[in-house]
């Protein structure tokens, strides 16, 4: 293609500077909206995943194959020592936490509540979850705290207890028989901001929990956290193979929290809808502008055809024009995105602790920039603009030159 | 003299039903010889525009043949017609119709680009054309920086530079004052006499009518007079 055809297309774009600027601004705002929405959704997804995995769940967990399906305490992990040996030898793991999980009744002088009682190794748990961080009153458990317990803020409120108060835990041992009942003193009160945690969870030392359950060394769950967050999918595959479903199995956070995974997938679908709507908006703007710009120049196109320009060449000239318009819009859109998106990335949006898909949005959600946003979307915009230009071009090119000219 | 153009029994009807059918041209026979300086005259609606459209391949006749150097252009497809216009016909329009975003030079060069002329030759021919139309040194100007007369000269240079067999001009002096109109006509006459360029005009301008070497009068789609002056 000769340079003059490119010149012709580009200079045509700037013939009506105000219209070009307004159109580029409209398309640029569309692009900015798309990038900001994507960046914001990405920020929210990252936050939710990080929140879920960091707060308590870990990136994955190992259980007896039937434990999560039945919630029965008898389904403990076979040979937990061997599992732990494998885990402790794996440098890819940032940490792991062995846990027992059982239903229990917690009672104070003011009332009683059914809870999920988790036995933990305080040091291991502090690497894996944020229980220590969220223990805002009192102190976190220590290795030798045999008769101390951590409970949620709302549970403490219901039981009308505070730091140092006594509660009684009652639970059914794994092997059946008499109920196991012990007195504990509240060492810490945590606040996750999640109703499920703050109302219904309590933590004691693992050894003490095993003792109450009547099963020395038993483990219901190993929660795991990996170092490499970029290649989690590969690590999940590796762990699936490492712990095949023979007695115990590894499940990643997506499998453990299908509702959250669905919510995130729903977010992707919402993003696709948003992109489609913005594409329609941008498309309508491009079609309208090009149609106006081309139609008012139909005489000129008639002249070009009359002097021997093939329709194919004219098509290229107009496509160059569309691409120039798209590039101008991308520049404007990128500048707007950097300004407004930058503000969202810096200040974030505070949701004030609203819970979405069971995840409390405790911290502001920050927009996340990615290279993809500045490559894929602009590229998509150019392709889309070219495609959408076909209609006005076709409309113009189908006018016979003799009709475009009206003279001669 | 060799015939460049031949219209044989050319008719053109507009409209599809009997009620609205317009016979714009009625069995027109016309021959244009190389080097002629011909004016087509006639009242509005006489068929001048339609005849020039058909001669240039911008429109197809309902009946009849249009031959350029013996080749029937009515049988050509879209691309062939584009190439035919590009290589054989130069156009000069009433309102100049230069591309406003290209300089005078670029407007002239455009034809050579679509003809596939190499760059070096293009530049030389563009400068030569500018000199021929008296616009030496004004090649870098955009059309809006030129007067009406200068723009029309650029249009003639554009029509000329591709070395066409014929230049078709639609009322080329209609938008010019008498001084510029006279100057333009003199220039075209000079090109006709020195370079042998064939011109066919549609016009109402008495100046062109007086200077034309051949005067064809159309009335109601028929040639009613064809005289050599």
What residue segments make up the domains of chain A, in order of their start? 2-53+261-404, 60-228
Closest by CA position to A30, among listed A276, A216, A396: A276
**Closest approach of chain B CAs to the CA of A335, in angstroms?**
28
CA-based nearest distance A281→chain B, Å: 29
- Number of Cβ pairs < 8 A linking chain A and chain B: 83
Contact B82 A308 (CB under 8 A): yes
Chain A hits for B97, CB-CB cut-off 8 Å, are: 299-300, 303
Interface residues of A toward B, Cβ cutoff 8 Å, are 2, 4-5, 7-8, 11-12, 15, 299-300, 303-311, 313, 400-402, 405, 407-408
pLDDT band at A407 (very low <50, low <70, confident <90, very high): very low
pLDDT at A406: 64
Separation between Cα atoms, residue B61 and residue B58, nearest integer Å: 10
Token pair recorded at residue A404 = 């475009």
pLDDT at residue A403 greater than cutoff 90: no
Q: Please tell me the predicted confidence (pLDDT) of residue B58.
A: 87
pLDDT digits (tens, 9 = 90+) for B136-156: 999 999 999 999 889 988 998
- Taking Cα atoms as reference points, which of A34, A19, A28, A7 lies closest to residue A288? A19
Secondary structure tally for chain A: helices H, strands E: 17, 12
Top-confidence residue, A289 or A150? A150
Over the range B49-72, which residues count as b (16 or more CB within 10 Å of their CB) and which as e?
Answer: bbbbbbbbbbbbbeebebbbeeee
pLDDT of residue A328: 92
**Smallest CA–CA distance from A301 into chain B, residue:** B99
Assess whether pLDDT exceeds 90 at residue B208: no
Chain B residue numbers touching A306 (CB-CB < 8 A): 56, 58, 85, 91
- Nearest residue of A to residue B117 by CA position? A2
> Burial of A107 by CB count in 10 Å (0-12 exposed, 13-18 middle, 19+ buried)?
middle
Q: Does B49 touch chain A (CB under 8 A)?
A: yes
Confidence of residue B188 (pLDDT cuts 50, 70, 90): confident
Q: In what helix (H) or strand (E) does residue B131 lie, and over which residues does it extend?
A: helix B119-132
SS3 B16: coil
Is pLDDT of A177 > 90?
no
Mean pLDDT of B14-36: 86
- In tens, the pLDDT along A284-307 reads 887 888 788 888 888 888 888 888
Q: Which residues of A181-206 are buried (b: 16+ CB within 10 A; e: fewer)?
A: ebebebbbbbbbbbeebbbbbbbbbb
pTM: 0.73
Q: What is the pLDDT of residue A1?
A: 56
Q: Which chain A residues are Cβ-neighbours of B172 within 8 angstroms?
A: none
What whole-number distance in Å separates Cα of residue B166 and Cα of residue A249? Answer: 87
CB contact under 8 A, B99 and A408: no
Beta bridge partners of A360: A355
Q: Which residues contact A161 (CB under 8 A, 6 or more apart)?
A: A108, A110, A151, A167, A186
**What pLDDT shows up at residue B1?**
66
Q: What's the longest Cα–Cα distance across chain A?
A: 108
Taking contacts as CB-CB distances below 8 angstroms, the residues of chain A near B80 are: none
Give, for A194, the enclosing helix (H) or strand (E).
none
The reply to whether residue A308 touches residue B114, judged by beta carbons under 8 angstroms, is: yes
Residues from chain A that touch B87, judged by Cβ atoms under 8 A, are: 308
Is B15 within 8 Å of chain A by CB?
Answer: no
Inter-chain contact A2–B91, Cβ cutoff 8 Å?
no
Spatial contact of A194 and A87, defined as CB atoms under 8 Å apart:
no
Cβ A303–B97 below 8 Å, yes or no? yes
B165 reaches A (C-beta below 8 A): no
pLDDT in tens, A243-287: 776 678 899 988 888 888 888 888 888 888 888 888 888 778 878
- Whether the predicted interface score ipTM is above 0.90: no
């Amino acid at each position: 293609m000769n340079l003059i055809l490119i010149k012709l297309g580009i200079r045509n774009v700037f013939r009506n500077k105000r219209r070009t600027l307004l159109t580029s601004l409209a398309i640029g705002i569309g692009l900015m909206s798309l990038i900001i929405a994507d960046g914001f959704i990405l920020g929210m997804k990252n936050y939710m995943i990080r929140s879920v995995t960091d707060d308590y769940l870990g990136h994955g967990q190992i259980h007896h194959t039937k434990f999560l399906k039945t919630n029965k305490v008898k389904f403990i992990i076979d040979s937990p020592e061997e599992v732990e040996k494998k885990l402790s030898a794996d440098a890819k793991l940032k940490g792991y936490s062995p846990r027992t999980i059982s239903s229990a009744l917690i009672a104070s002088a003011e009332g009683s509540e059914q809870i999920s009682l988790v036995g933990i190794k305080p040091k291991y748990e502090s690497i894996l979850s944020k229980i220590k961080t969220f223990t805002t009153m009192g102190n976190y458990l220590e290795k030798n705290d045999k008769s101390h317990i951590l409970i949620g803020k709302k549970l403490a409120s219901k039981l009308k207890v505070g730091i140092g108060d006594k509660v009684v835990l009652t639970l059914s041992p794994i092997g059946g028989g008499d109920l196991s009942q012990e007195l504990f003193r509240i060492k810490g009160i945590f606040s996750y901001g999640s109703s499920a945690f703050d109302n219904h969870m309590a933590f004691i030392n693992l050894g003490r929990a095993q003792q109450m359950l009547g099963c020395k060394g038993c483990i219901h769950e190993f929660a795991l956290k990996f170092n490499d967050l970029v290649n989690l999918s590969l690590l999940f595959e590796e762990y699936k193979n490492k712990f095949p479903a023979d007695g115990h199995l590894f499940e990643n956070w997506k499998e453990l929290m299908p509702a959250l995974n669905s919510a995130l997938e729903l977010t992707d679908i919402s993003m696709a809808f948003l992109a489609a709507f913005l594409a329609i908006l941008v498309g309508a703007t491009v079609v309208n502008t090009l149609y106006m710009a081309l139609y008012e120049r139909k005489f000129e196109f008639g002249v070009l055809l009359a002097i021997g320009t093939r329709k194919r060449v004219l098509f290229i000239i107009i496509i160059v024009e569309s691409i120039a318009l798209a590039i101008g819009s991308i520049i404007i859109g990128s500048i707007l995105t950097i300004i407004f998106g930058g503000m969202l990335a810096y200040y974030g949006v505070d949701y004030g602790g609203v819970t979405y898909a069971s995840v409390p949005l405790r911290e502001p959600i920050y927009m996340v920039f990615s290279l993809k946003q500045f490559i894929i979307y602009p590229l998509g915009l150019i392709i889309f603009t070219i495609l959408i230009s076909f209609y006005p071009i076709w409309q113009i090119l189908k006018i016979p030159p003799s009709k475009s000219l009206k003279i001669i | 003299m060799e015939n460049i153009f031949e219209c044989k029994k050319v008719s053109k009807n507009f409209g599809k039903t009997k009620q609205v059918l317009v016979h714009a041209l009625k069995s027109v026979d016309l021959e244009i010889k190389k080097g002629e300086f011909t004016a087509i005259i006639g009242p509005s609606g006489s068929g001048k525009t339609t005849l020039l459209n058909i001669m240039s391949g911008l429109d197809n006749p309902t009946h009849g043949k249009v031959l350029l150097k013996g080749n029937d252009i009515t049988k050509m497809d879209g691309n062939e017609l584009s190439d035919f216009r590009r290589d054989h016909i130069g156009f000069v329009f009433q309102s100049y119709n230069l591309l406003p975003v290209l300089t005078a030079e670029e407007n002239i060069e455009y034809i050579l680009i679509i003809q596939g002329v190499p760059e070096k030759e293009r530049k030389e021919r563009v400068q030569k054309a500018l000199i021929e139309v008296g616009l030496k040194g004004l090649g870098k100007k955009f059309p809006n920086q030129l007067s009406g007369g200068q723009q029309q000269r650029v249009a003639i240079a554009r029509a000329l530079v591709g070395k066409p067999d014929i230049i078709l001009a639609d009322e080329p002096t209609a938008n010019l004052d008498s001084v510029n109109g006279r100057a333009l006509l003199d220039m075209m006459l000079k090109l006709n006499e020195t370079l042998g360029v064939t011109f066919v005009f549609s016009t109402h301008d008495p100046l062109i009518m007086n200077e034309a070497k051949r005067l064809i009068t159309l009335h109601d789609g028929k040639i009613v007079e064809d005289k050599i002056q």
